[in-house]
Amino acid sequence: MTRLTLESINQSVVKAKYAVRGELAVKSETYRAKIRKGDAQDLPFDQVISSNIGNPQQLGQKPITFYRQVLSLLENPRLLDHEDVLVNSLEYKPDVVERARWLLQQVGSVGAYSASAGVPAIKESVANFLERRDGYPADPTSIYLTAGASSAVNILMHIICANQNSGILVPIPQYPLYTALLSVLDATCVPYYLNEQANWGTSLDQIKEAYEKAKSDGVDVRAIVVINPGNPTGASLSAADVRSVLEFAADENLVVLADEVYQANVFVGAFHSFRKVLYDLQKETPGKFDGLELASVHSTSKGLIGECGHRGGYFETIGFDKQVSEQIYKYVSITLCAPVIGQCLVEMMVNPPQPGSPSYELYHEENSAIFNELQRRATALYEAFKDMEGVECGEPQGSMYLFPTIRLPAKAVEAAQKEGRKPDEFYCHRMLDATGVCTVPGSGFGQADGTQHFRVTFLAPGTEWIRIVHEFHGKFMDEFR
């Protein structure tokens, strides 16, 4: 017998769930492989559409030229010896060359390890961005560059969770990174429900109820996670929601972990950063909010940049104890540093071409096209959902997802049970099998008892796939009504 078995390995890992890349995603990959091999005569579709994960460039979103031109120069700095060729024959603008030179000066080589928490000059760029965005200065030494937001959250959770009794308030539904990491760390998830009736906003009542219950169970609740704009919900929180979470956190002395990776994906209203609202509150109510600890997370994977594969990201801490920060630094040192190319991409994301600079026009055009296209598809998908029997969905507000409710007929629930599946899982499998469109069942994110949802990205090009989903749904309902 092998030394390592399912029973003998780390059970905290075994218990962890991560549906975004779970059974459905694996099945969709086997379909994709069949199609690639030309062996898909038995499939009722000729392409797989991975709407299970926010991966824009996998679905054909074109990278933004400025970023990639600079990165190409960082990878091959010898190109900088041919500036005339770059500019005259290859459409590189002078500000591309200039940015590449500046970044190379800061990092030396993108093939060298950087400082553990990231290249100092890039952390300064992030600090400048935060100041411009929020109107309050940031301290570069409180910024940590990471391999995407997942790594950032992983680091923060490793610091915050001390033992099984350490609890973290996590929204339900949530991006399953949070519950998966809590599982791996063998700490306690304290779920609080979002308010679907209020377009998935936070409900202070729900948060308080969850908190009080956990406290009375003896859980040492230490932090609250908020994902804004929401994943999987797509909700864009109002300033009032953000304020109420911060007030609650201040009252109960909780660390706030703000996942703000979709901050550039807001269709309705404005993005209200936890950081800005916190500093506003500190000004308004001197004393009360001074000690509040906030960690906020951002990434190059989402927004309009959509560079998931580059694994760029950062987190900023506010109000953290110096000794705790030293431990964060040591912890990130153990795995040396975030990918340096990803760090450079973070720099460009927070410091893009400005009006008047040679690359601005194209940059702006590409950016706007991506934004408009996302909004257009979100709306088309939303309109299709409105038209689908038993499906209810709020208006698209932000992020890259819609998260509709589905009311499945009793016969479908029965059929699901026969297959040993949850009803929403059953529905998503049927959709994948019939259309090639891969989604994630609501149960992968958590949902209120008795409700069913699924998460779908609106990243896939065109709207033909939306029509196909619509058609599938009609047939599904006919079959099980």
**Which positions ≥6 away from 194 have C-beta within 8 Å?**
171, 172, 173, 200, 201, 202, 203, 206, 230, 233, 235
Shortest distance, CB of residue 333 to its own copies, whole angstroms? 4
Cβ distance to its own copies smaller for residue 111 or 461: 111
Whole-number Å distance between alpha carbons of 294 and 187: 20
- Is the Cβ of residue 305 or residue 466 nearer to its own copies in the bound state? 305
Nearer to its own copies, 47 or 55 (CB): 55
Shorter beta-carbon distance to its own copies: residue 28 or 203:
28
Cβ distance to its own copies smaller for residue 180 or 477: 180
- CA contacts within 13 A on the Cβ side of 202: 31
Q: Give the amino acid at 279.
A: Y
Whether the Cβ atoms of residue 410 and residue 420 lie closer than 8 Å to each other: no
Minimum gap (Å) between residue 107 Cβ and its own copies? 7
Q: How far is the CB of 270 from its own copies (least distance, A)?
A: 27
Please identify which residue in the block is written with the tokens 């991006």: 175
CB of 480 to its own copies, least distance (A): 31
Q: Which is nearer to its own copies, 193 or 315 (CB)?
A: 315
Q: Given the complex with its own copies, which of 397 and 457 has the nearer CB atom?
A: 457
Q: Residue 49 is inside which H or E element, if any?
A: strand 49-50
Shortest separation between residue 222's beta carbon and its own copies, angstroms: 6
Q: Residue 314: which of 126, 139, 104 has the closest Cα?
A: 126
Smallest distance from its own copies to CB 133, Å: 23
Q: Considering all CA atoms of the chain, what is the largest pairwise distance in Å, rounded to the nearest integer?
A: 70
Q: How far is the CB of 40 from its own copies (least distance, A)?
A: 17
Nearer to its own copies, 193 or 465 (CB): 465
Question: Within 336-454, where are the H helices?
Answer: 340-350, 360-386, 410-418, 423-435
CB of 344 to its own copies, least distance (A): 10
- Of the candidates 398, 452, 393, 448, the one whose C-alpha atom is nearest the C-alpha of residue 206 is 448
Q: Which is nearer to its own copies, 23 or 433 (CB)?
A: 23
Distance CA 352, CA 374 (A): 20
Minimum separation from the CB atom of position 57 to its own copies (A): 4
CA distance 59 to 268: 24
DSSP secondary structure string, 423-478? Answer: HHHHHHHHHHHHH-EE-EEGGGT---TT--BEEEES-SSSSHHHHHHHHHHHHHHH
The upper half-sphere exposure of residue 253, i.e. CA atoms within 13 Å in the direction of its Cβ, equals: 1
Instruction: Name the residue nearer to its own copies (CB basis): 164 or 417.
Output: 164
Contact predicate 170/194, CB 8 Å? no
Q: Residue 140 CB: number of other CB atoms within 10 A?
A: 18
Q: C-beta of 132: minimal distance to its own copies in Å?
A: 25
The partner residues of 146 in beta bridges, in order of sequence, read 313
